[in-house]
Structure formats: structure tokens, C-alpha cells
A and B are shown apart, each in its own frame.
Chain A
Amino acid sequence: MAGMNLDGVGKTYPDGTRAVRSVNMTVEDGEFMVLVGPSGCGKTTVLRMMAGLESVTEGTLSIGDRVVNGLPPRERDIVMVFQNYALYPHMTVAENIGFGLRLQKVPKAERAERVKEVAEMLEIIDIIDKKPKALSGGQRQRVAMGRAIVRRPSAFLMDEPLSNLDAKLRVQMRSELIQLHSRLNVTTVYVTHDQVEAMTMGDRVAVLRSVGGEGQRPNLQQVGTPQELYEQPANLFVAGFIGSPSMNFIETNMETQGSEVSFMLGVDRVVLPAGVVESTPRLLNRDTPVIVGFRPESLSLRKSHDHPNVTVTGTAEVTEYLGAAAHITFRKAVGIAVVSHHTDRSTADAERHGFVAQVETDSMPQTGDRVEFFLRPEHFHFFDPEDGRSLR
């Protein structure tokens, strides 16, 4: 058992590609840490550095209290599950699982015992004599897991282990992995680009972003519990990346009169309650613009009776019925500039689609209807357009 610590870790590939810069992060002992981010943000690179498959070109990486920068994988007491499983094609399932133990010179009887135990735990005992080519994708995935578990390592590293499975199996394996973790309680670093996986599986989640064209930007955007990331995103990127559909953003100016702060949301004036201003004092007397964000699911078609409400009016352009909820894409009655910088994904969405609301399905509006949405002012997020940071 061991935690992991990254101190100013960076990576430049031999061809000069800068993939990782200044990652500072601690993975607690027994924690399930998820690394999430869009394609190419360096998740795999970070994981492979942890595994010892890729050299660390800057900073220090420790597992437990040992600096492991120069150590080969076999001296790190970690295991890694590969995205494509990488099973040995000429070995049976049992041999695949037992290979690590065989290299460790674990006596044959004990090896067989441990392999069997793991195979039973993963319910692959029936296929233990088959070769990988005779297995389904889900079975191969389990064998890859078994190969990792049987070693009883101090940490698991997993690189998108579920991404090759179909949607249903993925959900099933997801909860199995969570159960497995609560049972074994081994430090786990799990890479995914799927934020649903990240939010549902992680004790904590680290959001990564690419280092940018000049390679100047640190990858790590925010580390926190899923709830922290959702409720207090540190910057526009995290705000836009976490949550589906993505957060809506507009750029606007704050107006201060006495202790009252308000801004225009299209034709609607939004007056912020004192509590919000108190928790975000930088909104007071501000003469530069602010990016305001609100999540689609904080919009509602019904007025709340025990809270102050903000009204947003718009025209429904697309309505998508999802069963439990509906997504309504709408445009503000009076056009406002939609934010077009700082977040890669959410902006593209917003520009194409306008704003999105996720609402109850009982009184769904029709396309073309003029709709009033209500939301609570505490649900607004405020960001500085200059650096994208949260103003909280």
C-alpha cells in the first residue's frame, strides 16, 4: 500500500513534443484517483510515467516514500491495465494471470492457488484454460484485471480500461471496478476521457488539459472530489468540461449600486442576492467584464416558491426528449455575445447551439415557443475573462 506524489512533474518526448508540464499532485494511500481530460491532454503520458514505461524528464515522482524517477517498472510495485489489454497471445488465461507471479518465483502451488482465487473473484474460472483469441472483449478485460489483481501491488494504474467495451458492459464493469476497489482498497489511478466515468468512479478527480501550442500551460487544472469539481470549478475549462450538457456561458458587465450588484442577461436584469455578493466580493465595483456561467440543469420551467428566482427568457429552438428529462436549446430574446474563448468544448457547443436547459418533461415547450426559465442566483458561476479563473 502506498500513496503517490508528483512534484513538478513534466515530460518532453525525444522528438521535442512537450506533453506534460508542472504537475503537482498527491494520490492518497487507498484512494481512487481519476485523471480525466480531452484527447491529447497528457493523461496517458502521466500514467506511463507513474508506471515507469516513460522517463520523467522534469520533477520528482514518488511512490510511497521512495523517489522512483529512474526505477524500471518491476521495482515500483505497481501494475498497469492497458487500454487494449495486451494479453500474451500464446498463454492461457491462467498463464496470463500467473506470469507475474512466475517471474517473482512464487512456488507453483501457491501461484495456482492465487490465480484460482482471482479467477473466481472475477468470474472467469470457466475460461481459465482458454487462449486470449477465444475470449470476448469483456472476458479479455477481466483477464487483464486479473493479471493486475493477482500481484497484490501497492497501486493500480489503468488506462481507459473500459473504452473498448460496449455501452452496457461498460456500465456493468464500472460498478464492478468500484466494488473491487472498495474491497481491495488499493491506491488506484484511473485514466479516462469520459467525465461520467470520472465523476462516478473517482474518490477524487484530476482534470487535465493539454499544455497548449507553446507548451507553457501546466496540464493540471483542478483536483478535487466530484462534488467540488461540479459545484466549484476552478476555471472555465473545468466548468465547461465537467457536466453534461456543458455549462452555459455569457460575457457581461456587472453594475454596482450601493451594495447591490446586478447584470443584464439579455432582456432580463439579474440582481444578485447579498449572499452571492458576499461570497464573491470581486464582483463589487467591477469595471471589467465577467463571464457568467450556469448549468443547464439549474434551469427550471417552474418558479421556486421558497427561493429568490432569476428569470431567463428565450425562444426554444431544439427540444430533445430524453425520458426523465428534456434538453431545450434556446436563444436569448435579445442576442448577447456568447463566450468564445477559454474553453474548448463548451464554447463550440454554445456557438452552434445557443444555450441549453435541462428541464422537467411534464410541461415541455414546443419548438418556436417563447419560454421563461427560472434559476436560483446561487447557481451562477463567475469567471474572469482574462485568465479564465473563477472569481469565487
Chain B
Amino acid sequence: MSESTQISADPPKTVTETAAATEAQPGWGRALFGLGRNGGGRSRLAHDPLALSPRARAGAYAVLVAWSLIVLFPIYWMITTSFKTPLDVNSGPVYLPGVDFEGTTEAWDYIINEEPQTTRAFVNTVVVGVVSSLLTLVLGASASYGLSRLEFRPRLASVVAFLAGIAVAVATTIAGLAWQMGILLGLAFFAASIATWARRFEFRLSNDDIAFWLISQRILPPIAVVLPLYVFFQQLQLLDTRTALIVTYVGANVPIAIWLLRDFFAGIPVHLEEAAAIDGATRPQTFWFVVLPAAVPGLVATFLFIMVFAWNEFLIASVLTSADAQTMPMLVVAQNATRGPQWWNMSVLILIMSLPVILMAGFLERFIARGLLVGAVKG
């Protein structure tokens, strides 16, 4: 089992127990909330081939502790900074509250009670992050399931014809035609092409080409698309709305979600779905009752990944929003606007915006437990 490879102090258990423990006791959640029932420090049996010698174990812990300090220190610094006065911050490093500086809740008080935009920005961040991630997940799961189960063989020429159709629509609209007419013309051009010249070219694309095309959408740096996006939403009169952010984040995240989920769906044995079909399930029932539960770890991991992106995104938000739809990162940066960097306020804001993500990660981590497919089919 994979657990044998981790540096842990759990005593060996029977397979059943271990499997149950894996499911019920996610490591991170356990560490975070102190939910664990296993104390540390018990040693493995002497004959365990993967057991570390005492010296190697001490070395391993030393490395881990050092690394944890490096990773955790900035967080510590942020927490303490949020309780410092401007003087404490500006007059040079102070480390321990109550020892080399007096703690104060002024910054917290200011952000929560006086800064008028905190609540709105927080709500915006939550709404945009959660809604866009859920939408992304639905679209991404559907697309990647399709890509892993069905074979698509579109003609390259048809794709070219479609792009040409779009070009026709855009060109005629710019030339002064009503946009509805432009779209109709584009569609007509596409249909005519498919019926005529496009059929002659036999070269076809495969699922892998489609997947690559999707991920290639993320190769362009966001800065390159920000201005077109701005104009786009300006035309639609959606600037400074959550809708604009949600649409953009879904568009940006769907390729990543597909890329991450494709392997998850491919890893679910087709036999399970056939068994469901034999059991009398329709396609949607099969997906809902059999595929989705088996894909939960992948879905949760992907959800966390893309949600963190949407939660923290700054560049696009800074261009598309100005007041009403501002998200937390914008508010953080705003603390640097007029009076120089207000580090204490920033720290408070960052802590506030980080907390939900940390809680959510800790809660969802149990669903990312490995080995969910163990026992499905005889390997």
C-alpha cells in the first residue's frame, strides 16, 4: 500500500483497518483540526523493510521541521503584523507580541468596522470564486468525461470552415451589417463549406488533438487578453459586474479542469459503467450513481485548485472591476493607494480572505483520499 512509503509512525495494521483508516482519517485535516486518534512516536516493527534507522529518521524530521519553518514563517509574520501598530512595523522588525511589541487590534477594528468596502469585497470574492468554480467543474467534468469515453474524429477542414464562418460574421458586422445578419451569414458560410469543399479533405483530428487545443488556450499570457476582454465586456455593458468575472474565470479555468479531470475519468474502469448498464442504468444514471462517486477525489482536488485561482486572481479583476464588483485582492492592493503601504491593514485583509480557503481545504481533503477505486475490479 502507498502508506508504507510515507514517513509515519503508525503501527502496522491489517489491510482492512488500514484501508478504513485511509478513508476516514485524512492527514492534513487531522493535523489541522487535531481530529486524529493516532498518537505519534510509536515505532514500526523491526522487520518492516521500509522502516528508517533512528538516525535517518532524526534527519528526516530535521529537514521537515526546517521546511515547515520556512513555509510557516510568512504566515506567522502576517498574523503578527495584523496586530502591530504602524510604528511597530516601520521602526524595524519586532517578532513576539507582548515581548518586543504591544499587540493591538486597531487594524482589525478598522478593516471590519470602518472600511466600508470589506463586506462587499468579501461577498464578491466568495460569490465569484464559488460560482465560477462550480460552473467550471460542471463544464470541465462533462467535457473530460466525453473526451475519455467517446471517440471524436472531426475533420480538420470542418474546424477551419467554422473559424472561417466566424471570420465572415465578424467581417460583415464590422462592414456595417446588423450583427444578427452577420451571424446568419457566418453560419450559412459554415454550412455551405461543410457540404462542399470541406468534405474533400480526409485529415481528421483525434481526442488528443482536442485536449491539446483546449490546454493550449492557456498558453497565451493573461495580460495579452486583458484588453480585448475589457472591450468585450464594455460592449456588453457588463464592466464592473460579478457576471463578467465569473464568465472570464470559467473560460480561463475550464481548460485546466479538463486537463486535470481527463486522467481521473480515464482511470475509472469502463467495466463499472458496463456493469451499471447491465444493472439497468441509463447513461445519466450511470454517470450520476457510478462515475461521479468514483471521480469525487478528482473533482474535489480540481475544485480546490481552480477555486484558489479565482479567489486570488488580480490582473483580470483589476481591469474588469472598479467598485461594485471588486474582490478582496483589489481591496488589499487599495491599502497601498494614498498613504503608502498599510501593511497592518493588508495583513488583516489577507488573513480574512485566506481563512475560508484554508477551512474549505481542510474540510474537503477527506474526499481526496486515495484508493477510492480499490476493490472495484480485480487488478
Beta-carbon nearest neighbor of A82 in chain B:
B271
Cβ–Cβ < 8 Å partners of A133 in chain B: 19, 371, 374-375
Choose the segment among B189-197, B275-283, B344-352 that binds chain A (4+ C-beta atoms closer than 8 Å). B275-283
Cβ–Cβ < 8 Å partners of B269 in chain A: 84, 86
Cα–Cα, bound, A74→B284 (Å): 13
| B177 interface residue per 8 A CB criterion | no
Residues from 44 to 96 in A contacting B, C-beta threshold 8 Å: 51-53, 72-74, 78-80, 82-90
Pick the residue among A72, A99, A137 that contacts B378 (CB under 8 A): A137
Beta-carbon nearest neighbor of A90 in chain B:
B293
**Given A82-B271, A133-B371, A134-B16, also A74-B282 (CB < 8 A):** yes
Among B20, B278, B294, residue most surrounded by chain A Cβ atoms (within 10 Å): B278
Cα–Cα, bound, A134→B16 (Å): 5
Beta-carbon nearest neighbor of B19 in chain A:
A133
Query: What's the least CB distance linking B175 to chain A, in Å?
Result: 46
The contact string, 1 if C-beta is below 8 Å from chain A, for chain B 266-297, is: 00010110111111111001000110011010
| A116 interface residue per 8 A CB criterion | no
Cβ–Cβ < 8 Å partners of A79 in chain B: 278-279
Beta-carbon nearest neighbor of A100 in chain B:
B279
Q: Can you list 12 A-B pairs, Cβ within 8 angstroms, ordered by A? A: A79-B278, A82-B271, A84-B378, A89-B272, A89-B294, A89-B376, A100-B280, A131-B375, A133-B19, A133-B374, A134-B16, A151-B279
| A135 interface residue per 8 A CB criterion | yes
Query: What's the least CB distance linking A68 to chain B, in Å?
Result: 14
Query: What's the least CB distance linking B139 to chain A, in Å?
Result: 24
Contact A90 B372, beta carbon cutoff 8 Å: yes
Cβ–Cβ < 8 Å partners of B271 in chain A: 82, 84, 86
Contact A86 B274, beta carbon cutoff 8 Å: yes
Query: What's the least CB distance linking A154 to chain B, in Å?
Result: 13
List 16 additional contacts besides A132-B374, A134-B19; criterion CB under 8 Å.
A74-B278, A74-B282, A83-B378, A84-B271, A86-B275, A88-B275, A89-B375, A90-B294, A90-B296, A100-B280, A103-B285, A132-B375, A134-B16, A134-B20, A137-B378, A147-B275
Contact A104 B374, beta carbon cutoff 8 Å: no
Contact A104 B272, beta carbon cutoff 8 Å: no
Contact A88 B278, beta carbon cutoff 8 Å: no
Query: What's the least CB distance linking B206 to chain A, in Å?
Result: 13
List the 10 closest A-B pairs by CB distance, nearest first. Answer: A133-B375, A132-B375, A100-B279, A133-B374, A84-B377, A86-B271, A89-B376, A86-B275, A74-B280, A90-B293
Cβ–Cβ < 8 Å partners of A86 in chain B: 269, 271-272, 274-275, 376-377
Cβ–Cβ < 8 Å partners of B374 in chain A: 89, 132-133
The contact string, 1 if C-beta is below 8 Å from chain A, for chain B 1-21, is: 000000000000001100110
Query: What's the least CB distance linking A240 to chain B, in Å?
Result: 31
Contact B275 A82, beta carbon cutoff 8 Å: yes
Cβ–Cβ < 8 Å partners of A381 in chain B: none
Cβ–Cβ < 8 Å partners of A137 in chain B: 378
Query: What's the least CB distance linking B327 to chain A, in Å?
Result: 36
Beta-carbon nearest neighbor of A54 in chain B:
B274
Contact B277 A73, beta carbon cutoff 8 Å: yes
Cβ–Cβ < 8 Å partners of A244 in chain B: none
| A164 interface residue per 8 A CB criterion | yes
Cβ–Cβ < 8 Å partners of B20 in chain A: 134
Cα–Cα, bound, A86→B271 (Å): 6
Contact B378 A140, beta carbon cutoff 8 Å: yes
| B373 interface residue per 8 A CB criterion | yes
Query: What's the least CB distance linking B254 to chain A, in Å?
Result: 26
Beta-carbon nearest neighbor of B269 in chain A:
A86
Residues from 347 to 379 in B contacting A, C-beta threshold 8 Å: 371-378
Cβ–Cβ < 8 Å partners of A90 in chain B: 293-294, 296, 372
Count A-B contacts at CB 8 Å. 93
**Given A86-B271, A132-B376, A134-B19, also A147-B279 (CB < 8 A):** yes
Cβ–Cβ < 8 Å partners of A51 in chain B: 278
Pick the residue among B289, B296, B373 that contacts A99 (CB under 8 A): B289
Contact A87 B375, beta carbon cutoff 8 Å: yes
Cα–Cα, bound, A164→B375 (Å): 13
Pick the residue among A80, A87, A147, A164 that contacts B376 (CB under 8 A): A87
Cβ–Cβ < 8 Å partners of B281 in chain A: 74, 103
Cβ–Cβ < 8 Å partners of B282 in chain A: 74
Cα–Cα, bound, A20→B305 (Å): 48
Contact B285 A89, beta carbon cutoff 8 Å: no
Among B272, B294, B296, residue most surrounded by chain A Cβ atoms (within 10 Å): B272
Cα–Cα, bound, A51→B274 (Å): 10
Beta-carbon nearest neighbor of B270 in chain A:
A86
Cβ–Cβ < 8 Å partners of A89 in chain B: 272, 294, 372-376
Pick the residue among B16, B277, B294, B378 that contacts A164 (CB under 8 A): B378
Cβ–Cβ < 8 Å partners of B375 in chain A: 87, 89, 131-135, 140
Contact B277 A72, beta carbon cutoff 8 Å: yes
Cα–Cα, bound, A133→B1 (Å): 12
Residues from 328 to 375 in A contacting B, C-beta threshold 8 Å: none
Contact A73 B378, beta carbon cutoff 8 Å: no
Among A80, A84, A104, residue most surrounded by chain B Cβ atoms (within 10 Å): A84
Cα–Cα, bound, A170→B296 (Å): 35
Contact A103 B378, beta carbon cutoff 8 Å: no
**Given A73-B278, A90-B293, A90-B294, also A85-B372 (CB < 8 A):** no
Contact B274 A82, beta carbon cutoff 8 Å: yes
Contact B285 A80, beta carbon cutoff 8 Å: no
Cα–Cα, bound, A53→B377 (Å): 18
The contact string, 1 if C-beta is below 8 Å from chain B, for chain A 202-216, is: 000000000000000
Contact B19 A88, beta carbon cutoff 8 Å: no
Residues from 129 to 176 in A contacting B, C-beta threshold 8 Å: 131-135, 137, 140, 147, 151, 164
Cα–Cα, bound, A88→B378 (Å): 12
Residues from 101 to 143 in A contacting B, C-beta threshold 8 Å: 103-104, 131-135, 137, 140
Cα–Cα, bound, A55→B16 (Å): 40
Cβ–Cβ < 8 Å partners of A164 in chain B: 378
Cβ–Cβ < 8 Å partners of B19 in chain A: 133-134
Cα–Cα, bound, A113→B280 (Å): 20
Cα–Cα, bound, A169→B373 (Å): 25
Cα–Cα, bound, A66→B373 (Å): 37
Query: What's the least CB distance linking B296 to chain A, in Å?
Result: 8
Pick the residue among B280, B293, B296 that contacts A103 (CB under 8 A): B280
Cα–Cα, bound, A85→B377 (Å): 6
Contact B279 A103, beta carbon cutoff 8 Å: yes
Query: What's the least CB distance linking B235 to chain A, in Å?
Result: 46
Beta-carbon nearest neighbor of A72 in chain B:
B277
Cβ–Cβ < 8 Å partners of A103 in chain B: 279-281, 285
Query: What's the least CB distance linking A374 to chain B, in Å?
Result: 47
Cα–Cα, bound, A73→B20 (Å): 34
Cβ–Cβ < 8 Å partners of A82 in chain B: 271, 274-275, 377
